[in-house]
Structure 1
Amino acid sequence: MTQILSLHHMTATDLDACQLADEAAKQGCQAISTFTHVPAVLPADFPRVSDQASVRALRSRMTAGNLTLLNAEYFPLTTGVCLEDYRPGLSRAAGLGARQATTHVQIEDAAAQRDAFKAFSDLCAEYGLLLALEFTSTAKIKSLKDALHLIETAGEGNAVLTLDLLHAARTGVTVEQIAAIDGSLLGTVQICDGPAHMAPDQLRVESLTNRLPPGSGDLPLVAMLRSVPKGTPIEVEVPQHPAMKSNVSAHERIRQAIRGAKSVLERSLISPIGEGFAPS
């Protein structure tokens, strides 16, 4: 089985979705993740697939690059969220053949969390999408244990985990805990790198703007990836705003990120390496 390697749009938000697809194909990826819904907390000029013309254009570029859409971003569950507002973004995701729609939970009350997650899982199912839950140190679901509990108790059989190894490392997830995850509940593993430790007040900044290409930091990526079930899609998410502000091109940032990911994956031997996946 050839491992699926995906490029996340956060790696190069200075590109539009079609440009991202072109770069992903050039670097030997099999998938991308992009934004079919952008909540108001993100900048107005944040890249997005916002209408049917954009869907058609991206679908054409994905077909040309032999790519699929892994995750459609970003559908946060917040207090008072109106899930009906997410229908257009979910419809665009479905039109692009997306596998999953990504959420973070920002609701404090446990019962309200379950209700919102269950309702959104049902809504995603209407569009043929899995609901992918990502835990982070800055969300209300901030641990692997709590994420898996919510998926198992409120996911309606239509929810999976997005395991970002940066967030896993920053929240103390162990290799043994990763190995214990039911493979049927693991939708995607996201990789990047970083220093061994990060100040708590810098975690959000690191996550959104200042990650390192895989293999260039101190995170135990190889050991973590060896605990991941074979066949789990691997996604490269490496926002590097300092490099972008220093005029390092999107092409070069992506090239470094994908090259690092391929090297780390090769060392982890999590699956046989297919054509287009060997280190470049």
Structure 2
Amino acid sequence: MSESILDIGSYHVGSGHPCFIIAEIGINHNGDIDIAKKLIDSAIHAGCQAVKFQKRTVDIVFSEKELAKFRESPFGDTNGELKRGLEFGQEEYEIIDGYCRKKEIIWFASCWDEDSLEFIEQFSPPCYKVASASLTDDNLLNHHKKYSEPKILSTGMSSLAQIDHAVQIFGEKDLALLHCHSTYPANNEELNLNCIQTLRNRYQLPIGYSGHEVGLVTSVAAACLGACIIERHITLDRSMWGSDQAASVEPHGMKRMVSYVRAVEAAMGDGEKRVWESEVPVRQKLRRIG
């Protein structure tokens, strides 16, 4: 059985195609649309193919008890004030949609509840991301099936049995999986990058990698191991306020990572052993026989 290919906008995503690199903006905009625009620009400058946001209906995703908890932030002293302060609404997403269209970069979102999915659908995204936290939410997974766009499913903090179940709900058409470790930041010793091949062998689907570790080398290694999607959080500055900033990549780092992945792709080749024309003069110079 051959591995399927996803079509996301004008990009073909899967084995044999260039790695699809996503800059996860998430909530690193800190509720500021100008920061969001700068992050979009940084992703474009780095050579990413897409940017991704997160969309939640705060009162659905979080309980009243959770929202009432004390938590200091620039938005107030409760967790609810923080969550609402970080959440973009209609005006901001219209700006994001127009800005990304103008800049010619794909954008989409991970939707954490059914209302958020309905909200994002108005912008006709080329695909949807399903966060690791939502992998066991059967109602949300089934709600995604209302729409024909490809789905990218992260598999952090999930067993193979749970992933099997989610794949069964979605079906194998227009689906990609991302190997993921859900700690922010993740320890290298727990990344288990060899699981990329485990998932490829098990599901025969496009398999990518969503990284939350510090540094770039492991994401490049994921590309070497066959990841056809690489997703990393992007930030203007890792020292900025925010829960995800420390596990994110700054603009110059994102640019380096993209260039490293492209260098790896160029170097991997097709696996067929051959003598290159450029080697012939060296062979004639150095070999005594043959």
1:87 to 115, 126, 129: 115
Instruction: Describe how 1:196-207 pairs up with structure 2 within 5 A.
Output: none
1 CA distance for matches of 2:85 and 2:46? 23
Q: Which amino acid aligns with 1:214?
A: L
Contact residue 180 and residue 191 of structure 2 kept, 8 A? no
Displacement of 1:50 in angstroms is 1.7
2:253 to 240, 252, 257: 257
Contact residue 90 and residue 127 of structure 1 kept, 8 A? no
1:227 alignment counterpart: 225
Secondary structure at the residue paired with 1:179?
helix
Secondary structure at the residue paired with 1:101?
strand
1:59 to 90, 93, 97: 97
Displacement of 1:271 in angstroms is 8.3
The alpha-carbon distance between structure 1 residues 269 and 223, as it changes in their structure 2 partners (threshold 3 A), is same
Q: Which amino acid aligns with 1:69?
A: W
Length, aligned pairs only = 220
Do residues 7 (structure 1) and 45 (structure 2) align? Answer: no
2:232 alignment counterpart: 236
TM-score (norm 1): 0.61
2 CA distance for matches of 1:128 and 1:267? 34
1 CA distance for matches of 2:46 and 2:260? 15
Do residues 22 (structure 1) and 33 (structure 2) align? Answer: no
Contact residue 18 and residue 57 of structure 1 kept, 8 A? no
Contact residue 177 and residue 206 of structure 2 kept, 8 A? yes
1 CA distance for matches of 2:193 and 2:107? 29
Instruction: Describe how 1:40-79 pairs up with structure 2 within 5 A.
Output: 40=62, 43-51=82-90, 53-70=91-108, 72-75=109-112
Contact residue 50 and residue 105 of structure 2 kept, 8 A? yes
1:99 to 127, 133, 136: 127
1:36 to 48, 51, 55: 55
Displacement of 1:56 in angstroms is 2.4
1 CA distance for matches of 2:172 and 2:249? 37
Contact residue 90 and residue 124 of structure 1 kept, 8 A? no
2 CA distance for matches of 1:257 and 1:94? 33
Secondary structure at the residue paired with 1:234?
strand
Partner deviation per Cα, 1:201-255 (whole Å, 9 max, x = no partner): xxxxxxxxxxx2413xxxx4443321225xx232222569862159xx99x9631
Report the RMSD for the aligned CA atoms in angstroms. Answer: 3.9
Displacement of 1:32 in angstroms is 0.3
Contact residue 122 and residue 156 of structure 1 kept, 8 A? no
1 CA distance for matches of 2:115 and 2:167? 24
Partner deviation per Cα, 1:116-167 (whole Å, 9 max, x = no partner): 42x4333112233444432334xxx2x4x24532233333446542323676
2 CA distance for matches of 1:131 and 1:264? 26
The alpha-carbon distance between structure 1 residues 133 and 147, as it changes in their structure 2 partners (threshold 3 A), is farther
Secondary structure at the residue paired with 1:23?
helix
Kindly name which structure, 1 or 2, has the bigger radius of gyration based on alpha carbons. 2
2 CA distance for matches of 1:270 and 1:190? 22
